[in-house]
């Protein structure tokens, strides 16, 4: 039996801990659709940041048979989740978008248009928001070791998506 292997750009949609350090990861690939697999060490300290929902990765999925769960290995391309750590609302919006795609897309059904449109949307929102100075966050924080840290993050696309999310919530949810 031949080993099935996929190498593609992907966006992490969800992560569920599996055992002490491993995780079951669902990712939307550019040409193959949504796939789930085991990420060894995915819930551990060394690789935990790589597998955060919303991150764009260069992924490799491998299994002995097509019906098997398979395993993921990957390298980080863009850490969208890390850029949003300073704002819980934006991070929640990114997590919600990933959760919706994870629930709505059938597994192993190629969705190249979905991947391309999502990537284009994020690129366009970042460009438009950046031109207008939207999404700049100046964050100062105290560390556990007594040091103070200051960072400036730019998330124009995340800011626009969060505003749209809140607008939809305001007209659809009862308070």
Q: pLDDT tens, 138-153?
A: 667 666 666 677 766 6
Q: What is the pLDDT of residue 72?
A: 97
State residue 121's pLDDT score: 64
Helices (H), 54-111: 80-83, 88-104
Q: At what angle do helices 112-131 and 156-172 cross, to 10 degrees?
A: 100
Q: What is the pLDDT of residue 2?
A: 72
Give the C-alpha separation, 151 to 136, whole Å: 10
Q: Residue 49 corresponds to which tokens in the numbers above?
A: 């940041």
- Report yes or no: 13 and 53 within 8 Å, Cβ to Cβ: yes
Determine what percent of the chain falls in helix, strand and coil, rounding each to the nearest 5: 35, 35, 30
- C-alpha distances (whole Å) from 162 to each of 71, 133, 165 are 33, 16, 5
The predicted pLDDT at position 74 comes to 96
Burial class (CB in 10 A: 0-12, 13-18, 19+), 62: middle
Tell me which residues of the chain have a pLDDT lower than 50. none
Cβ contact 37:54 at 8 Å = no
Contacts of residue 167, Cβ cutoff 8 Å, sequence gap at least 6: none
């Amino acid at each position: 039996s031949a080993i099935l292997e996929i190498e593609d750009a992907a966006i992490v949609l969800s992560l569920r801990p599996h055992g002490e350090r491993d995780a079951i990861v669902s990712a939307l690939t550019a040409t193959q659709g949504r796939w789930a697999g085991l990420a060894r060490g995915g819930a551990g300290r060394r690789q935990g940041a790589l597998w955060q929902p919303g991150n764009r990765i260069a992924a490799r999925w491998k299994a002995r048979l097509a019906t098997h769960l398979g395993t993921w290995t990957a390298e980080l391309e863009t850490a969208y989740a890390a850029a949003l750590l300073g704002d819980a609302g934006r991070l929640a919006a990114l997590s919600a978008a990933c959760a919706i795609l994870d629930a709505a897309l059938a597994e192993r059904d190629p969705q190249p248009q979905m991947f391309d449109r999502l990537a284009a949307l994020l690129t366009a929102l970042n460009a438009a928001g950046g031109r207008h100075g939207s999404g700049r966050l100046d964050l100062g924080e105290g560390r556990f070791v007594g040091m103070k840290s200051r960072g400036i993050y730019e998330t124009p696309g995340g800011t626009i998506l969060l505003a749209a999310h809140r607008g939809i919530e305001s007209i659809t949810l009862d308070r």
